[in-house]
Amino acid sequence: MSRYIEHKGDEYSMLIGEKIKMIRESEKMTQEQLGEQLHLTRQTISNWENGKSYPGIAEIVAIKSV
């Protein structure tokens, strides 16, 4: 899976992990709270935000509805 969520011309504007963190923080949620809402662990959210692993399509859709 690509590390990038948005493409503008030849440059990628934001990594998936950065976008997840931005959404989470804008909702004033901790990694633990987001994990609970998505039925995942805090470590999974941390790994996404740090680029150690990436969410699947189902998780991306779920995050959009947070």
pLDDT above 60 for 59: yes
Residue predicted with more confidence, 59 or 13: 59
Q: Determine the pLDDT at residue 40.
A: 97
Q: Determine the pLDDT at residue 43.
A: 98
List, in order, residues 6 or more apart from 64 with CB less than 8 Å away.
Answer: none
Report which residue type is found at 9: G
> Which CATH number belongs to the domain containing residue 24 in this structure?
1.10.260.40
Residues of the domain holding 49 = 4-64
Q: Determine the pLDDT at residue 29.
A: 97
CA distance 45 to 52: 10
Bridge partner list, 14: 6
Count: domains in the chain: 1
pTM value is 0.78
CA distance 34 to 40: 8
Burial class (CB in 10 A: 0-12, 13-18, 19+), 25: exposed
Q: Determine the pLDDT at residue 39.
A: 97
